[in-house]
Amino acid sequence: MPGLNPARTVLADTGILWLRLAVLYLIVGVGMGIMMGASENFTLRPVHAHVNLLGWATMALAGLIYCVFPAAGNTRLGRLHFWLANLSLPVMSVALALVLHGQRQLIPVLAIGEIVAALSILAFAANIFLNLGKD
């Protein structure tokens, strides 16, 4: 687009990527909600809640923040936040679903997923405190 600073566009893409991934989690989370309602089987309720709240709500909020403050999304902490969050949530969600279905031997995998998810939140918080508004 004429007049658009290309460096800034690349930086802003980080926030857009977060938003695109968040909306994919929303589709999965809402799909699970509909399946639970239709089948009247609510076993996966905690997975549904975490996919919607960590996957959709938290990631969409991060995406909006990184759209408003693009430089923060591209720092080392921003990239660490991205990878920790997006690697942990699928592991955590699948492990939680299987544990809820009785595969208790997967509890250590679930615990690792949860710890990495918590570390992603710490990276997010550190990024917000250290790098926000440096654009």
The residues that touch ligand HEM, with contacts defined as CB under 6 A, are 29-30, 33-34, 36-37, 42, 45-46, 48-49, 52-53, 56-57
**CB contact at 8 A, 51 and 25:** yes
Q: Say how far apart CA 57 and CA 50 lie, in whole Å.
A: 10
Which tokens belong to 54? 């960590």
Q: Which is nearer to ligand HEM, 37 or 76 (CB)?
A: 37
Q: How far is the CB of 33 from ligand HEM (least distance, A)?
A: 2
Q: How far is the CB of 104 from ligand HEM (least distance, A)?
A: 19
Q: How far is the CB of 70 from ligand HEM (least distance, A)?
A: 25
Question: Which of 7, 10, 130, 135 minimizes the C-alpha distance to 71?
Answer: 135
